[in-house]
Amino acid sequence: MARLRIFLAINGGVLREGLRKVINDHPNMIVIGDGANADVCLEKIAELAPDITIITRLMDKNGVAEATKHLTKACPRTKVIVLSANADIESMRLVADAGARGYILKSIESEQLIDVINKVSAGAKCFPQTSNGRSASAFGDDSGDHHSTIDNGTGLSARETTVVRMVAEGYTNREIADKLRISVKSVETYRSRSVSKLGLNRRADLVRYALEKGWLRSRSQR
């Protein structure tokens, strides 16, 4: 299977190299180019026609929304994902209207980044909830809240909630990792972080909590 070709239009050198490593470590993805200068990036993207372009505020010469609009018009093959420090609803609305298919935060974890890239490549739109907990569904988000916080009073992210639910349902860490296509280490991290947030200790506590939330289903219902 052909690898997804990704361009990084990112002005932070450390951030750019970190993303490059995460992406290139994935067997189905490769970074084919990068840059920190808006004009140079636009030229390279038009020439290379990547599958995915991840851009940051380096495009502020004309505004990140204008850059997104220019990219999607000049290179319709590439799907744009905007990388930002904040989940601001107005910023997300602007870039979504300009044609961006995704919006990720700089705090995103490696597994989540790969998940978003795969979903955007497959045609989905991935926008997180806003910093004040508002839903981004107005942007056509079908990403499953890839790295947002669910407004359920727990402070758990969508992925943490999924892991807690599956642990309560009796899945092993390996089974969860296989179903979510993440590493066992990531499952352990989500699980540990979740029980810490919830103030729980034993699996029995997780089961009781999941029952109270109405999260449990029989395996025949999945």
Read off the pLDDT of residues 129-184 as tens digits, 9 standing for 90 and up.
655 555 454 455 444 444 443 334 456 766 777 888 888 888 899 998 888 777 88
What does each C-alpha distance from 35 to 31, 32, 56, 139 come to in angstroms? Answer: 11, 11, 11, 28
pLDDT value, residue 145: 43
Distance CA 165, CA 159 (A): 10
Do the beta carbons of residue 203 and residue 214 sit within 8 Å?
Answer: no
pLDDT value, residue 190: 82
Taking 50 as the pLDDT cut, the residues of the chain under it are: 135, 137-138, 141-153, 218-222
- Mean pLDDT across the chain: 79
pLDDT value, residue 148: 42
Provide the CB-side half-sphere exposure for 196 (13 A, CA).
7
DSSP for 8-75 reads EE-S-HHHHHHHHHHHHTSTTEEEEEEES-HHHHHHHHHHH--SEEEE-GGGGGT-HHHHHHHHHHH-
Query: Position 133: which residue type?
Result: G
Environment class of residue 126 by beta-carbon count within 10 Å: exposed (0-12), middle (13-18) or buried (19+)?
A: buried
pLDDT value, residue 52: 96
Do the beta carbons of residue 156 and residue 199 sit within 8 Å?
Answer: no
pLDDT value, residue 134: 53
- Structural domains in the chain, CATH included, are 4-139 (3.40.50.2300), 158-221 (1.10.10.10)
Do the beta carbons of residue 65 and residue 97 sit within 8 Å?
Answer: yes
Count CB-CB contacts under 10 A for residue 180: 18
Strand order in the sheet with 4-9: 29-35, 4-9, 52-55, 79-84, 102-105
pLDDT value, residue 143: 42
Do the beta carbons of residue 160 and residue 190 sit within 8 Å?
Answer: yes
The whole-model pTM stands at 0.63
What does each C-alpha distance from 183 to 28, 82, 186, 187 come to in angstroms? Answer: 16, 25, 5, 7
